[in-house]
């Protein structure tokens, strides 16, 4: 592998890792469901006006957007708001790999090989060790939400595999139109209206920076 490729891979990992810090800072300034909706709204706009809609059935675009936006990010943001640490969340979300393998077996009939099964067993064992002391304390609910969020990520992987988009960027941009409406609706129902108003009408620089980085 070329050095340039290695550095790019490290850069991607660093950006993804810092993403959890941005989420943790963001949910302290903006209600989590509202923050999720804003993250996807800005991811879609204005880019959607410059990209043709992927030549795919709407069920793939809507399904991917909903599972990724509501199922993964919505629950992840809520878990971090409820007190889960950014570092632990970044580890737990990697359960998406063995969950993707499981869902691929169930939905796509992709039978895992022995080496993959051993790797999945090690991953789940490691998470069990990490989460052992947290299942009975205040971290139990946010930790469970994060595990479910990783399942949402895995589900989105399966939908993307089934969709096989020719233009992945356009697929992601158009699917980003899906989460804002349900997330804003959930925000209105479950989150404090004063906090919503403050975040929208008087956003702090930290809130703005967080939303822009996440988007």
The 3-class SS string of 2-33 reads CHHHHHHHHHHHHHHHHHHHHHHHHHHHCCHH
Predicted pLDDT at 131: 75
Residue 3 lies in a domain: no
- Domain of residue 131, residue span: 19-214
CA distance 73 to 80: 10
Say if residues 188 and 52 touch (Cβ distance below 8 Å): no
Q: Which distant-in-sequence residues (6+ apart) come within 8 Å of 40 by Cβ? A: 65, 69, 73, 176, 177, 178, 179, 180, 183, 215
Listed in sequence order, the DSSP H helices in 54-179 are 58-66, 75-81, 86-92, 96-108, 114-131, 140-163, 168-175
Q: Is 0.85 topped by the overall pTM?
A: yes
Residue 4 lies in a domain: no
Of 34, 31, 43, residue with least CA distance to 185: 34
As for how many domains the chain has, the answer is 1
Confidence of residue 174 (pLDDT cuts 50, 70, 90): very high
Confidence of residue 56 (pLDDT cuts 50, 70, 90): very high
Residue 1 lies in a domain: no
CA distance 68 to 73: 6
Confidence of residue 36 (pLDDT cuts 50, 70, 90): very high
Residue 11 lies in a domain: no
Confidence of residue 183 (pLDDT cuts 50, 70, 90): very high
State pLDDT tens for residues 115-147: 988 988 888 888 888 777 777 777 789 999 999
Torsion sign over Cα 169, 173, 175, 176: positive
CA distance 119 to 32: 33
């Amino acid at each position: 592998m070329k050095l340039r490729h290695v550095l790019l891979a490290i850069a991607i990992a660093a950006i993804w890792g810092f993403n959890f810090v941005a989420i943790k800072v963001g949910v302290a300034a903006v209600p989590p469901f509202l923050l999720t909706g804003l993250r996807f709204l800005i991811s879609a706009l204005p880019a959607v006006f410059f990209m043709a809609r992927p030549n795919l059935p709407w069920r793939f675009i809507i399904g991917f957007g909903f599972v990724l936006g509501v199922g993964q990010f919505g629950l992840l943001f809520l878990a971090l708001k409820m007190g889960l640490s950014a570092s632990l969340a970044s580890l737990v979300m990697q359960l998406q790999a063995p969950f993707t393998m499981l869902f691929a077996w169930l939905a796509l009939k992709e039978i895992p090989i022995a080496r993959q099964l051993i790797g999945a067993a090690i991953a789940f064992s490691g998470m069990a060790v990490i989460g052992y002391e947290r299942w009975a304390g205040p971290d139990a609910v946010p930790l469970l939400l994060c595990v479910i969020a990783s399942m949402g990520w895995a589900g989105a992987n399966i939908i993307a595999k089934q969709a096989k988009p020719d233009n992945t960027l356009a697929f992601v941009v158009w699917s980003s139109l899906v989460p804002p409406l349900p997330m804003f609706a959930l925000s209105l129902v479950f989150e404090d209206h004063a906090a919503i108003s403050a975040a929208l009408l008087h956003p702090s620089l930290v809130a703005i920076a967080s939303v822009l980085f996440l988007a």
